[in-house]
Structure 1
Amino acid sequence: DLAQELDAMDAVLPALERVDVLVNGAAIAQAFSVESARASDWRAHMELNVYAPAELTRVLLPGLRKAEGTAIFINSGAGRGGFGDNVVYAATKHALYALADGLRKSEQDIRVTTIAPGPTDTAMFQGLSGDYDKSHVIAPVEIAKAIRAVIDAGPTTQLTEVQVRPRIELADRK
């Protein structure tokens, strides 16, 4: 069970003296409305999308501080809006914003960034979209480039939020 694994994270992870960059990128997304979601659906999404990055970051925080490193949270465009048929995922991404914002305000020795991609060519997004066209979504390499830009930001700055959107929004395609 993921909750037990998260509780044991201190013992599982090696003691890293220095952490220059942490990218919290794991997530699940299954389409649920308020009506269709059950407690187990909420729990599974919260555990992987919020609890796991919170716990991983907590465990690696001493190394991030020592390196004056960067913690990156891969969020989603869904984190700033509501979606009736994808409410569980969107709610967890709202929570991930709060996690990143709180960490940024409490940890002045590290840089904290939220990268929020729109629809990206991943297995997760393919599973959500009934009418999937790879040419209409963001290539994963573009998200990697956004991560690189955050890491390469100068020492006196931090890019606190990076929105990565498709050239033409899916809803605007004709």
Structure 2
Amino acid sequence: MGTYLITGATGGIGTAVAELLRERGHDLVLTGRSAERLDRLAARLRGAAHAPTQVIDPGAVMSGRRNASVTTIPLDLTEPLRIEASLAAAGLPARLDGVVHAAGMVHLAPVADMEAVEWIQHLSVNLVSAAEMTRLLLPALRAAEGHVVFVNSTAGLRANPEWSAYAASKFGLRALADSLRAEEPSLRVTTVYPGRTATEMQRKVRAQEGHPYAEDDFAAPTTVARVLVSALETPRDAVVSDVTVRPS
């Protein structure tokens, strides 16, 4: 069993990934902006509903169970320069089997109305913090020959009107993943491109678009999480480098 760090762990996709990894008996390091929400999530994951059931290894049979640890680190990704001090104070493990970058933010507006502070926020949360986290965690990832997963967006493949800042940050995240994959041959790097997913972020997007939010119109976070964890479970002789998940 391994150790996985998840950013944006209290968001829809981040929480769903944490639940699946917890069920498989892995140790988790959960990060998010709200310490209270992280504590509530950690307490729930430690409960019986998410007891370990199997290990990430498609060919393995688990010989026993253990109570995997769940720890939390409050992080404000709008301030990437403070991440290093926060991680140092937390005392991270020397080995990380994987990092899942699931944090993100979005605000829709035409280019004519998008001010510099909003561009900086998008780039800080969606791109620069992911790059900084990855840089700081590389020694632990290299030690475990680990896996880095970037939760991108279909907006990282095509920019639509009023999505300029978000799409630019996600195009940059795609470039980060591609460069990392080429630079770190001992690591596996995956980019997941979810389409519209039934999360609180999507609820806010629909409000900004002036449309009602109907959960059934979108892919479930657990569906995206299953695709992501399947990439983690791919045998070591291959890597799922890019995968798109769209609502049907």
1:85 maps to 2:166: no
Moved more, 69-78 or 123-132: 123-132
1:88-127 alpha-carbon deviations (Å, 9 max, x no partner): 1011000000000000010000000000100001111111
Post-superposition offset of 1:13: 4.4
Q: Are 1:9 and 1:55, in contact at CA under 8 Å, matched by a contact in 2?
A: no
- Which has the greater radius of gyration? 2
| Paired position in structure 1 for 2:117 | 40
| Paired position in structure 2 for 1:143 | 224
1:135-159 alpha-carbon deviations (Å, 9 max, x no partner): 1101000111011111110111110
Length-normalised TM-score, structure 1? 0.91
Q: Are 2:80 and 2:132, in contact at CA under 8 Å, matched by a contact in 1?
A: no
Tell me how far apart the structure 1 counterparts of residues 80 and 226 of structure 2 sit (CA, whole Å).
32
User: SS of the counterpart of 2:83?
Assistant: helix
Tell me how far apart the structure 1 counterparts of residues 245 and 118 of structure 2 sit (CA, whole Å).
27
In the TM superposition, 1:31-70 aligns within 5 A as 31-70=108-147
Tell me how far apart the structure 2 counterparts of residues 166 and 12 of structure 1 sit (CA, whole Å).
40
Bigger relative contact order, structure 1 or 2 (CA pairs below 8 A, ≥6 apart): 1
| Paired position in structure 2 for 1:17 | 94
Distance 1:32 1:13, change over 3 A: farther
| Paired position in structure 1 for 2:246 | 165
Tell me how far apart the structure 2 counterparts of residues 8 and 42 of structure 1 sit (CA, whole Å).
24
In the TM superposition, 1:112-123 aligns within 5 A as 112-123=189-200
RMSD between superposed Cα atoms in Å: 1.4
| Paired position in structure 2 for 1:99 | 176
1:46-103 alpha-carbon deviations (Å, 9 max, x no partner): 0000011111111111111111110000000000101111111011000000000000
Tell me how far apart the structure 1 counterparts of residues 164 and 125 of structure 2 sit (CA, whole Å).
16
| Paired position in structure 2 for 1:172 | none
Q: Are 2:153 and 2:195, in contact at CA under 8 Å, matched by a contact in 1?
A: yes
User: SS of the counterpart of 2:155?
Assistant: helix
Q: Are 1:33 and 1:88, in contact at CA under 8 Å, matched by a contact in 2?
A: no
1:109 maps to 2:190: no
User: SS of the counterpart of 2:213?
Assistant: coil
User: SS of the counterpart of 2:111?
Assistant: coil
Tell me how far apart the structure 1 counterparts of residues 87 and 205 of structure 2 sit (CA, whole Å).
34
Distance 1:31 1:136, change over 3 A: same
User: SS of the counterpart of 2:100?
Assistant: strand
Q: Are 1:16 and 1:60, in contact at CA under 8 Å, matched by a contact in 2?
A: no
Moved more, 127-136 or 53-62: 127-136
Length-normalised TM-score, structure 2? 0.65
Tell me how far apart the structure 1 counterparts of residues 84 and 229 of structure 2 sit (CA, whole Å).
31
Unaligned runs of 5+ in 1: 168-174
Tell me how far apart the structure 1 counterparts of residues 127 and 230 of structure 2 sit (CA, whole Å).
24
Post-superposition offset of 1:132: 1.9
Q: Which amino acid aligns with 1:139?
A: A
Q: Are 1:9 and 1:59, in contact at CA under 8 Å, matched by a contact in 2?
A: no
Percent same amino acid at aligned positions?
Answer: 34
Count of residue pairs the alignment pairs up: 167
